[in-house]
Amino acid sequence: MSSETLTDTSAAPVPAAELTGFPRLDGDRPARVVVVGAGGMGSWWAREIVESEVAELVGVADLVEGAPERVIAQSGAADPGAVAVGTDGVDLALAVEADLLVDPTVPVAHHPVTVKALHAGIPVLGEKPVTETLPEAISLLAHAELTGVPFMVSQSRRFFRQVRQLRSFVAAHGPTVMTSAFFSLFTEMEGYRRTQRHPLLRDMGIHAFDTARYILDADPVAVTAVGARPEWSVYHHDATVSATFEMSDGSLFAYHGTWNARGLPTWWNSEWRIGAQHGSATWDGTGVPVLGTADEEETARLQAAVEAETAPEPDQIAASLVECVSALREGRTPMCEIHENLLSFAMVEAAVAAVDGGGRVEIDELLEQARLEAITAEADEDAREIMRSWSSVREALATGA
C-alpha cells in the first residue's frame, strides 16, 4: 500500500465520507511498521512488533541521536542493520513505505506527529493519552475526518480478558449504580512526568477511565475531583487524586489513585468493584474477576465460566497491535479510533479542571470550550472548517463513530 493511494489531501475540506473507506492492507503479509519515539515505551513496542506475527519492524525514529539504534538493539530483530533509523518518524515511514506509524513519543509530540502522518496518508497507532491537551485532541479528530486516514489510540489496559468478562457481566446484570477503581503504586518516575501538571490523572487515570467506559458501556457526564501533593512526593504536581464521575447510565464511577503511598501496591490495572442492579463484581486487577448475583446457582455457573477461560491470548499492546492491523486488513474502523477514544481523554481533562477550579465540571461544556480553543489554534483552514461545522463535539463523536 503506497502512501499516495491512501488519501488525497487536495479533496479537503469535505470530511472523508467514512473512516473505513481506505484501501485495505494485504492480509498475506505482516504490516510494515515504523516506531517514532525511542524511549521506554518505544522499546516495548519494538519488541512486541518484532515478536508479532501481524507486523514487522522496518524503522525507528527519535530526535535523540543514538536512541533508535539502542531500541533496535534490544528489540530482538533478526537483522538489526535492516531496520532503518531517522529523526522524523513520518519522513522515515514514507521513505521505507511503511503501512503504519506507531507513536510512543511524549504526549506534547502526539499532535504534530499525528497531523503530519495523517496528511501523508499513513495510519497511526498512537500511545495514550491521545494528546497533551483537549483542544489538540479535538483538532486530531478533525484531521482524521479530513484525511480519512485511520488513527487509533492504544489504550493497552482495555485489552485484558478480565475487562472483556466484566463488560459481558455488566451487559447481562446492569445497569450499574456504583463502580470504583482504586490505584495505589509507589513510583518515583524520572522524565517528563516529574514536572507535568496532574501526572497521575494524565498518565494513569486515562487507563482506568477508558476501562470504566468500556466495562460500563457508558460515557461521562460530569465530574468532581480533588488532588493532594504530600511533601515527600517527587512530582511537582498532584500524584494523588480522588474523582467521582456521573455517567450516562445514571451511575457513579469513583476513581482513587496515588503514586505516593508505600506498601500494599495494587496492580497497574487498579482494584475494581462494580455494583449493578442484578449483580456485583470485584477484580484485583490481575486474577479472575469474582462475580456475584442474588442467586447462588447462577453465581456458581457464571464464576465457573470465567474461570474456564484459560486459553492464551494477546493482551496489552500486543492485542492493540493485532486490533489495529486486523482493522487495516479488513478495511474497518479499529476499536479505540479517535472518535471512540476522545471521551476517555475528556474524563482526564475534566478531572484536571475540577481539581484546578473546584466544583462540578460538565463534560459537554468542557468539550465546547475546547472546540473553540481548537478552532482558534488550528493552523489548517480545512480542519478549522470541519470543527466549525459540528453542532457539538458530542455529536461529531457520535456521527464519526
What does the binding site for ligand NAD look like in residue numbers (CB under 6 A)?
Answer: 36-42, 61-64, 67, 89, 104-107, 109, 113, 127-128, 156, 191-192, 203
Q: Is 80 exposed, middle or buried (0-12, 13-18, 19+ CB in 10 A)?
A: middle
Nearest 10 degrees: Cα torsion 118, 119, 122, 126: -20
Strand 240-247 and strand 124-127: the pairing is: unpaired
Give which of 184, 269, 183, 190 is closest to 235, Cα–Cα.
Answer: 190
Query: Rounded CA gap, 395 and 388, in Å?
Result: 13
Minimum CB distance to ligand NAD smaller for 41 or for 386: 41
The least distance separating ligand NAD from the CB of residue 311, rounded to whole angstroms, comes to: 24
Radius of gyration of the chain, Cα coordinates, nearest whole angstrom = 21
Minimum CB distance to ligand NAD smaller for 85 or for 247: 85
Minimum CB distance to ligand NAD smaller for 12 or for 58: 58
The least distance separating ligand NAD from the CB of residue 104, rounded to whole angstroms, comes to: 4
The least distance separating ligand NAD from the CB of residue 358, rounded to whole angstroms, comes to: 27
The least distance separating ligand NAD from the CB of residue 156, rounded to whole angstroms, comes to: 4
3-state secondary structure of 60: strand
Minimum CB distance to ligand NAD smaller for 39 or for 292: 39
Planar angle of CA 181, 187, 189, nearest 5 degrees? 120
Cα 109 vs. chain centroid, distance in angstroms? Answer: 15
The least distance separating ligand NAD from the CB of residue 98, rounded to whole angstroms, comes to: 15
The least distance separating ligand NAD from the CB of residue 64, rounded to whole angstroms, comes to: 4
3-state secondary structure of 348: helix
Task: Give the CA distances from residue 307 to residues 141, 300, 311, 323, in Å, rounded to whole numbers and listed in that order.
Answer: 39, 10, 11, 24
The residue with its CB nearest to ligand NAD is 39
Residue 55, strand partner residues: 31
Minimum CB distance to ligand NAD smaller for 182 or for 192: 192
The least distance separating ligand NAD from the CB of residue 89, rounded to whole angstroms, comes to: 6
Q: How many Cβ atoms sit within 10 Å of the Cβ of residue 317?
A: 23
Query: Which residues, 6 or more positions from 220, have their beta carbon under 8 angstroms from its beta carbon?
Result: 209, 213, 245, 246, 247, 248, 253, 343, 346, 347, 350, 363
The least distance separating ligand NAD from the CB of residue 395, rounded to whole angstroms, comes to: 28
Q: How many Cβ atoms sit within 10 Å of the Cβ of residue 385?
A: 17
Minimum CB distance to ligand NAD smaller for 62 or for 219: 62
The least distance separating ligand NAD from the CB of residue 142, rounded to whole angstroms, comes to: 21
Minimum CB distance to ligand NAD smaller for 90 or for 367: 90
Minimum CB distance to ligand NAD smaller for 150 or for 199: 199
Minimum CB distance to ligand NAD smaller for 64 or for 305: 64
Q: What is the DSSP letter of 26?
A: P
Minimum CB distance to ligand NAD smaller for 41 or for 54: 41
Query: Rounded CA gap, 394 and 355, in Å?
Result: 23
The least distance separating ligand NAD from the CB of residue 309, rounded to whole angstroms, comes to: 23
Q: Is 17 exposed, middle or buried (0-12, 13-18, 19+ CB in 10 A)?
A: exposed
Q: 316 with 269: CB under 8 angstroms?
A: no
The set of cell numbers assigned to 317 is 499492546
